[in-house]
């Protein structure tokens, strides 16, 4: 009789688990929307992403998913808490640890009966909380022979990090999870974060490809505030010969040697040696415009080769879900912590409220719920992810959360009270790449941006100026728009409880510490 009761209880638990949708949330680092072919940008035609495209084909593509703070750690903190940086306490990457005692969506999912797991990049400076299982990369993580922090300590794994993270995710799904519970699995990739080191098998993938240059590659920054010209994230000046372009002679003290080359297997070194020699030959003697163009091409080759591995592993994970019978009851979500510049304005990196870094990819497939091939142009945000996951699971959100559930949009419905504008705030200055602190509001056409330490304003009209090259703030013909946008900005700050005045939270280090060597030399020369 006892065995019959136990069997009945287990079957009942499995039936309950089968009724609740599972959630697989795949999250990458610095993946530009322009580099996903389903979004239709020119560069992705030369480096297609068939497995990511399939999510969009079978589900829904969000075209305007905006981040609250375009930098890695703060974006992750916002996703976990459903709150802006000024409330979750994680403003900047450097010298900050996430407060794991606060309410997060994984904790609330656990409370509602879900098993939770996170595997891959964490980058929040603290031990993960709210997860039944966690294996995370220390700091930024390594591309080759990566290290992982676990509840048992630090482990080093053989292989390429994107493959290893997927291996671990499938291992947990196949062998380690509790099959009597629905699950929420976060698969968080390092790729394609700087220094963009491809897997050895893809190192030469794009050697013969010439990628189209963005029309703003040689942007002169006229017509805008000084923030655009004072940054230190340009392809021309900031990309390092060592870790980024990999064209210097191997030196055991170099970043590339320590973080990549020293971790390669003998067979991987053979591939890399040939590739490094090829790079140096191409690079030799280049100057001026030709040098910038070559740097751009090499940056794209490495960045997009990293994405090829990422796309492969998305396919591998989805194939497992299908073969194991889990796919039909699993919501599959793909996004990134923010967008990234692929040469637009002559830049790499992120941080600005300009479109390429402010907008992040978001693709969702949910069999039986999302209409295949759906496209949503509503203003959504990473602020919404927490409440969306909780709504999908039928779990209660917390009253402190500030986002909006995307569940109606996934079903093809648009709530009448959907947001008309999105608030943004970037805090990290002085800091790497030296982008001035700023906040702003975006209504789907106009952006009002305030670089408040310099007390400079920008108004951008994305309908007439999609590349965001002309500051219209002083244009008398748009005085009414400026006034309206100021009102929207103040309304958003009240709604989201943004403290009045200029934030005190800023880095105390000397700004010169953060400049790249070439930029620092130029400043000192002046």
Q: Rounded to the nearest 5°, which phi and psi values hold at 521?
A: -65, -40
What pLDDT does 311 receive? 98
Contact present, 166 and 188 (Cβ < 8 Å): no
Contact present, 100 and 90 (Cβ < 8 Å): no
What pLDDT does 95 receive? 83
What pLDDT does 17 receive? 52
What pLDDT does 219 receive? 97
Residue found under tokens 């291996």: 167
What pLDDT does 12 receive? 46
What pLDDT does 64 receive? 98
Every domain of the chain and the residues it spans: 2-197+303-408, 218-296, 426-525
2-197+303-408: what fold?
A: Alkaline Phosphatase, subunit A (3.40.720)
What pLDDT does 508 receive? 74
Is 267 buried (19+), middle (13-18) or exposed (0-12) by CB count in 10 A? exposed
Average pLDDT, the chain: 95
Percent above pLDDT 70 for the chain? 96
| Through-space distance between the first and last CA atoms of the chain, rounded to whole angstroms | 87
Which residues in the chain show pLDDT less than 70?
Answer: 1-18, 505
% helix, strand, coil for the chain, step of 5? 40, 15, 45
426-525: what fold?
A: Arylsulfatase, C-terminal domain (3.30.1120)
């Amino acid at each position: 009789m006892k065995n019959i009761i136990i069997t009945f209880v287990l079957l009942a638990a499995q039936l309950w688990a089968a009724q609740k949708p599972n959630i697989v949330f795949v999250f990458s680092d610095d993946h530009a929307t322009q580099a996903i072919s389903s979004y239709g940008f020119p560069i992705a035609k030369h480096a297609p992403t068939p497995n990511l495209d399939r999510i969009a084909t079978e589900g829904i593509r969000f075209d305007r998913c905006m981040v609250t703070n375009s930098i890695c750690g703060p974006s992750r903190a916002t996703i976990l808490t459903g709150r802006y940086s000024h409330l979750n306490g994680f403003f900047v990457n450097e010298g900050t640890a996430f407060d794991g005692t606060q309410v997060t969506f994984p904790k609330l999912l656990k409370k509602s009966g879900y098993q939770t797991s996170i595997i891959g990049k964490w980058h929040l400076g603290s031990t993960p909380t709210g997860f039944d299982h966690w294996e995370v990369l220390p700091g930024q993580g390594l591309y080759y022979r990566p290290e992982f922090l676990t509840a048992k300590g630090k482990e080093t794994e053989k292989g390429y990090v994107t493959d290893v993270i997927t291996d671990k995710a499938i291992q947990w799904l196949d062998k380690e999870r509790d099959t009597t519970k629905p699950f929420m699995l976060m698969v968080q990739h390092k790729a394609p974060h700087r220094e963009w080191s491809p897997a050895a098998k893809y190192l030469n993938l794009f050697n013969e490809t010439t990628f189209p240059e963005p029309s703003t590659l040689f942007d002169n920054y006229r017509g805008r505030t000084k923030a655009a010209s004072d940054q230190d994230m340009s392809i021309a000046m900031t990309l390092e010969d060592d870790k980024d372009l990999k064209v210097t002679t191997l030196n055991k003290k170099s970043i590339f040697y320590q973080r990549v080359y020293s971790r390669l297997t003998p067979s991987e070194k053979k591939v890399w040696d040939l590739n490094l020699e090829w790079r140096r030959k191409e690079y030799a003697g280049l100057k001026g415009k030709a040098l910038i163009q070559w740097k751009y091409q090499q940056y794209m080759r490495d960045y997009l080769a990293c994405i090829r591995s990422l796309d492969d592993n998305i396919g591998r994970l989805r194939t497992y879900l299908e073969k194991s019978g889990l796919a039909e009851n699993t919501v599959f979500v793909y996004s990134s912590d923010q967008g990234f510049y692929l040469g637009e304005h002559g830049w790499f990196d992120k941080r600005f409220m300009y479109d390429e870094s402010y907008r992040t990819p978001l693709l969702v497939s949910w069999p039986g719920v999302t209409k295949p091939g759906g496209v949503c142009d509503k203003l959504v945000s990473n602020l919404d992810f927490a409440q969306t996951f909780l709504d999908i699971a039928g779990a209660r959100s917390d009253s402190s959360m500030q986002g909006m559930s995307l569940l109606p949009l996934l079903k093809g419905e648009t709530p009448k009270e959907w947001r008309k504008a999105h608030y943004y705030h970037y805090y990290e200055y002085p800091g790497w790449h030296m982008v001035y602190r700023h906040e702003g509001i975006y209504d789907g056409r106009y952006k009002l941006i305030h670089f408040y330490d310099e007390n400079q304003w920008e108004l951008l009209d994305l309908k007439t100026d999609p590349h965001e090259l002309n500051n219209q703030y002083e244009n008398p013909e748009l005085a009414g728009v400026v006034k309206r946008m100021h009102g929207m900005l103040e309304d958003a700050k009240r709604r989201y409880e943004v403290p009045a005045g200029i934030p005190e939270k800023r880095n105390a280090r000397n700004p010169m510490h953060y400049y790249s060597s070439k930029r620092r030399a130029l400043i000192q020369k002046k």
